[in-house]
Chains A and B, each alone.
Chain A
């Protein structure tokens, strides 16, 4: 591998100031640091440093997303063949899904990283790894049939308006991936909701008779609980053989990711736990009120349906847009759980409340932090007056 290092060292001067391509410096630096941990040594403060860096942290999250992504691909194929009533082997099913999902990932990464590279170069910064996660999240939270150009537009919007104008990764207020989804949801609602978008039928193919295409949550929204429970068993929902956004359907795959995230400790278990607790408690409360059918849906089933689990594990826990104080994390998480179920059950216009609940709490996270920190300040003031 010394040869590779030699090549890099040889071409490196071209990208430095006074070289031939100084305007590509950030991009070159991005690729170089991807290949090699740089030879930078500590200048001030601690002489030795922890082996962790942003790349390691982000890759841990990407790995945690993989089970849900792979299952999502399989499920796209599974739903397709089920809808057209054909029988296919495991690999046919998976490859169909892979072929459907891969373009979304390519577009999302292409557009997002392109913008990241440009902005980093303009600012003269190193390229930030944050988009490695965002770029994978975006395809996982959209329906499979969303047009590629829409994904491109939404990604660009999320990266520029959601992140770069605030100063890049680490400075954003709301979760960029969710912002992309919200953009699509409100700009192109026909492609983001309803019964038509969740399953790819494909050109030239026809759905079997009696095919509905609705998600379990869609059925729940219109109060069709008999159909909900007749069409899908609980094990379908746990394993994820139901229509929905690409990565959100399998509770099991998401929990596998959650286990990985919690093992590596890159995100807060406090947030994850309190989202589930908040959602479950709200579900129970509605069970007690029981004013309509939706309110009677068992509380634990809420946690399996739609994007609740995915949001709780991968979205609410985003360390940048969530609360930064340990106490605040409980409040923030619980409120997301409560709001998500509240929006689901009480708002007839939206079948899913998770996205809006998280975005709303993203905005309020600094306020929660402010109040928690204020307590600490007051405690210190009291110490003086004692």
Chain B
């Protein structure tokens, strides 16, 4: 048991945190989005009108046919929504009130071999919960990861409280961990927040794992930060990671023999009237929770995920496969007279040319305005202060922009994913798109490697 202090980082304090109350939000409208899975090319197994149960395969990966994505609910496929170049964007499903499940065998994972566990997870679709570094795509079942990481807390703006979410799920969580432990020859790391008196006993009593403590603000809760401190990814190595609710889903597969896609999500943001938690399922429409919680205005952005890394899904959108929160914030599509030279006390900045650093207690209502125009890199020195890796962020992103593969490798790109450079992007005075550039770099390397 070790404690790691994360000194570098930035907490963006936003208005609209969720009250610790869980409400039900039944909806008929669901969608599974192949775009949630990085680098996956979907091949459909269903068409409009197909009846599905929770756990019925919807599509598989063209380049790795073992990887199957299954339906989170039972009902009927109502539409296959395609975008540009006929790319599949959504598989919409009208759900029944009473969910029917595809029944899988129930076993204690401790009694199963690795092959059996892998096979069960693959056929039920819960395998997709496991993601890997490098690249952040779904884990390849043929790889032998050197370790598996689970972060049991989230430090991102308005992030959900996993202690609340995991409450009462001890058995499922432990069963999930037992399954994970057979997948790696290395350790399964469960990372908890140090200094949090309310850490759930579900986490504290977890067996068959290595428990580590992390202290500090965002991004101490990012699994990338934790991997970097515990067992960094070198070239040629693979680690797997997943989130708390995903471990519970895996556990339930072995306990109940079902793909239980239940998710407790935080419905948050300054535009939400009564922000709180909802019990719903992967792929649920956000309309229902929005109706129940209430939205102040029309000119808003619905984000599946947090404000740093989430996806803009619109008022008619659906909860992403990996997401645990929906954030609703005002759009910033308005002009501001002389904004750049005003005191702007209502705006947040990590830079001291604004005074927000003198008011650390203040919470902000931030909109989606870019607050400037894109420029070349000029000001420096601040990125390192919000980036707790032993990596030179500016040099790395420049290597990614210039497509210098050797340099990207040398500078440690294999350790990173979008969420790790999100704070660099947030504070960037040149408004460089860090996350997009990093992804381009990773895609380029992946292409060259294969």
A contacts, CB < 8 Å to B: 1, 4-5, 33, 35-42, 44-57, 59-60, 126, 128-130, 167-171, 263-266, 268, 319-320, 324-326, 329, 369, 373, 376-377, 379-380, 383-384
B328 to chain A, nearest CB (A): 11
Given A39-B335, A169-B375, A266-B351, the answer on whether A44 and B435 have CB atoms closer than 8 Å is yes
A168 nearest CB neighbor, chain B only = B376
Q: Is the CB of B436 within 8 A of A45?
A: yes
With contacts A39-B333, A44-B433 taken as known, whether A54 is within 8 angstroms of B378 at the C-beta atoms is yes
> At the interface with chain A, which of B147-155, B275-283, B336-344?
B336-344
Q: Which segment, of B106-114, B159-167, B183-191, B387-395, faces chain A?
A: B387-395
Q: How long is the Cα–Cα vector from A126 to B351 in the complex, in angstroms?
A: 23
Q: B301 at interface (Cβ–Cβ under 8 A)?
A: yes
B50 to chain A, nearest CB (A): 33
Per-residue contact bits, chain B 358-382, to A (CB 8 Å; 1 contact, 0 not): 0000000011111111111111111
CB contacts (< 8 Å) of B410 on chain A: these are: 377, 380
Q: Known pairs A60-B353, A324-B394; list 5 more (Cβ under 8 Å).
A: A40-B370, A41-B369, A47-B368, A49-B372, A50-B429
Contact B303 A170 (CB under 8 A): no
Contacts of A4 in B (CB 8 A): 337
Nearest-neighbour CB distance to chain B for A65, whole angstroms, equals 14
A51 touches B354 (CB 8 A): yes
Cα–Cα distance between A100 and B421 once the two chains are bound (Å): 49
Are the CB atoms of B411 and A377 closer together than 8 Å? yes
B77 is an interface residue with CB less than 8 A from chain A: no
Check B51 for interface membership: any CB of A closer than 8 A: no
Q: Which 3 A-B pairs have the closest CB atoms?
A: A53-B372, A170-B376, A37-B339
Chain B hits for A379, CB < 8 A: 390
Q: Does B199 contact A (CB under 8 A)?
A: no
**Chain A: which residue is nearest B434 at the CB level?**
A45
CB of B373 within 8 A of CB of A59, answer no
Q: Chain B contacts of A263 at CB under 8 A?
A: 352
The chain A residue sitting closest to B432, CB to CB, is A45
B428 within 8 A of A: yes
CB neighbors of A among B275-325 (8 A): 301, 303, 307-310, 312
Given A319-B379, A319-B381, do A50 and B435 touch, yes or no (CB 8 Å)?
no
How far is B308's CA from A57's CA once the two chains are assembled, in angstroms?
23
Residues on B with beta carbons closer than 8 Å to the beta carbon of A329: 381
Q: Give the docked Cα–Cα distance between A45 and B433 (Å).
A: 7
Q: Does B427 contact A (CB under 8 A)?
A: yes
**B39 on the A face (CB < 8 A):** no
Within the complex, the shortest CB–CB distance from A100 to chain B, in Å, comes to 28
A32 to chain B, nearest CB (A): 9
Q: Are B370 and A49 in contact (CB under 8 A)?
A: yes
CB distance from A375 to the nearest CB of B (A): 10
The chain A residue with its CB closest to the CB of B438 is A45
Q: Which residues from A are CB-within-8-Å of B376?
A: 128, 167-171
Complex-state Cα separation, A128 to B375, whole angstroms: 7
Closest Cβ–Cβ distance, residue A40 to chain B (whole Å): 4
Contact between B371 and A39, CB atoms less than 8 A apart? no
Taking CB atoms, residues of chain B closer than 8 Å to A383 are 232, 234
Contact B418 A325 (CB under 8 A): no
**Partner pick for B395 among A129, A266, A324, CB 8 A cutoff:** A324
Determine which residue in A1, A266, A379 has the highest number of CB atoms from chain B within 10 A of its CB, and name it: A266
User: Is B5 an interface residue, CB under 8 A from the partner?
Assistant: no
Find out whether the CB atom of B384 lies under 8 angstroms from the CB atom of A326: yes
Given contacts A46-B308, A319-B381, A51 and B348 within 8 Å (CB-CB) = yes
* Contact between B429 and A53, CB atoms less than 8 A apart: yes
For B395, list chain A residues within 8 Å (CB).
324-325, 369, 373
Bound Cα distance from A380 to B235, whole angstroms:
10
Min CB distance, B198 to chain A, in Å? 27
Q: Report the minimum CB–CB distance from A2 to chain B (whole Å).
A: 10
Q: Would A57 and B335 count as touching, CB distance under 8 A? A: no
How distant is the Cα of A325 from the Cα of B391 in the complex, in angstroms?
11
Can you give 12 A-B contacts (C-beta < 8 A)? Answer: A36-B339, A38-B370, A47-B327, A52-B429, A54-B430, A56-B429, A57-B379, A59-B340, A130-B378, A265-B382, A325-B392, A379-B390
Whole-angstrom distance from the CB of A319 to the nearest CB of chain B? Answer: 5
**Centre residue among A36, A44, A52, A167 by max chain B CB count within 10 A:** A52
B332 part of interface (Cβ distance < 8 Å): yes
- Partner of B422 from the list A45, A169, A171 (CB cut-off 8 Å) is A45
Enumerate chain B residues within 8 angstroms of A264, measured Cβ to Cβ.
351-353
For the complex, is B169 an interface residue (Cβ under 8 Å from A)?
Answer: no
> Which residues on the A side are within 8 Å of B378 (C-beta)?
54, 57, 130, 169-170, 319-320
Write out the residue numbers on chain B whose beta carbons fall within 8 Å of the beta carbon of A376: 390-392, 411
Q: By the criterion CB–CB under 8 Å, are A51 and B344 in contact?
A: yes
Measured CA separation A268–B375 after assembly (Å): 20
Given contacts A126-B373, A383-B232, contact A36 B337 (CB under 8 A): yes
**CB nearest neighbor in B for A325:** B392
| C-alpha gap A41/B436 in the complex (Å) | 16
Q: Does B59 contact A (CB under 8 A)?
A: no
Whether A52 lies near B436 (C-beta < 8 A) is no
Q: Are B353 and A57 in contact (CB under 8 A)?
A: yes
CA of A352 to CA of B347, assembled, Å: 44
B124: min CB distance to chain A, Å: 33
Asked if B223 is at the interface (CB within 8 A of a chain A CB), the reply is no
CA distance A38 to B336 in the complex (A): 7
CB-based contact A50/B348 at 8 Å: yes
A9 CB, nearest partner CB in chain B, Å: 9
Is B431 on the interface with A (CB-CB < 8 A)?
yes
Say whether A47 contacts B312, CB under 8 Å.
Answer: yes
- Shortest A351–chain B CB gap in Å is 32
Residue among B303, B394, B429 facing the most chain A CB atoms (10 A cut-off) = B429
- Cβ A53 vs Cβ B348 within 8 A: no
Contacts of B429 in A (CB 8 A): 50, 52-54, 56-57
Which has the most chain A C-beta neighbours within 10 Å: B338, B339, B427?
B339
Q: Are A33 and B334 in contact (CB under 8 A)?
A: no
Shortest Cβ distance from A235 into chain B, in angstroms?
32
Given A169-B378, A264-B352, A373-B392, decide whether A52 and B335 contact each other with a Cβ distance below 8 A.
no
How far is the CB of A353 from the nearest CB of chain B, in Å?
A: 26
Q: Is B329 an interface residue (CB 8 A)?
A: yes
A50–B427 contact, CB under 8 A? yes
Chain A nearest CB, measured from B424 CB (Å): 10
With known contacts A47-B310, A263-B352, A326-B384, A53–B373 Cβ distance under 8 A = yes
B426: Cβ under 8 A from any A Cβ: yes
A377 cross-chain contacts in B, Cβ below 8 A: 410-411
B329 near A36 (CB under 8 angstroms)?
Answer: no
Q: Is B141's CB within 8 Å of the partner chain A?
A: no
* Chain A residues, CB < 8 A from B339: 36-37
Instruction: Check A5 against B349 for contact (C-beta < 8 Å).
Output: no
Interchain CA distance A33-B337 in the complex, whole Å: 9
- CB pair B332–A39 under 8 Å, yes or no, is yes
Assembled-state Cα–Cα distance A384/B236 (Å): 10
- List, in ascending order, chain A residues with CB within 8 A of B349's CB: 50-52
Interface residues of B in 27-65 (CB under 8 A from A): none
Inter-subunit contact A39/B368 (CB<8 Å): no
Residues of A within 8 A of B234 (CB): 380, 383-384
Among A38, A60, A167, A169, max chain B CB count under 10 A is at A38
